[in-house]
Amino acid sequence: MKAIVSVVGKDKKGIIAKVSTCLYEMNINIENISQTIMQDYFTMIMAVDTADCPVKFDGIKQHLNELGKQTGVEIHIQLQSIFDSMHTLDTSDKEL
């Protein structure tokens, strides 16, 4: 499943390293990364594919959530379809 991982928080060293390691350990492929600093806040968006990940979606969420707590940033993962739905005009029916 295609999903979006978003990481928002105070900028510090090693955020990308930690998140990508965590994703790698769950066998999740990163397809695209964009990262900026907005008003001192680190904002990273990753497009990922969970097709080969043995962990269930809830489990992935939990792992990332815990990592977020340890690192002091907020990490969300949501299926890409929610963003497709809200931000594109294509009104053909989306599937998750």
Q: How far is the CB of 52 from other proteins (least distance, A)?
A: 18
Would you state the structure tokens that stand for residue 76, as one six-digit string? Answer: 């969300």
Q: Are 26 and 60 in contact (CB under 8 A)?
A: yes
**DSSP H or E run through 67:** helix 57-71
Restricted to residues 31-60, the positions that interact with other proteins (CB under 8 A) are 32, 34, 36, 43, 45, 47, 57-58
Q: Contact with other proteins (CB under 8 A): which of 10, 24, 27, 82?
A: 82
* 3 closest CA partner among 25, 22, 23, 21: 23
Q: Which is nearer to other proteins, 13 or 87 (CB)?
A: 87
Give me the long-range contacts of 35-38 (CB less than 8 A, separation at least 24): 37/11
Query: Where does this chain bind other proteins (CB under 8 A)?
Result: 1, 4, 6, 8, 32, 34, 36, 43, 45, 47, 57-58, 61, 76-79, 81-83, 85-88, 91, 93-96
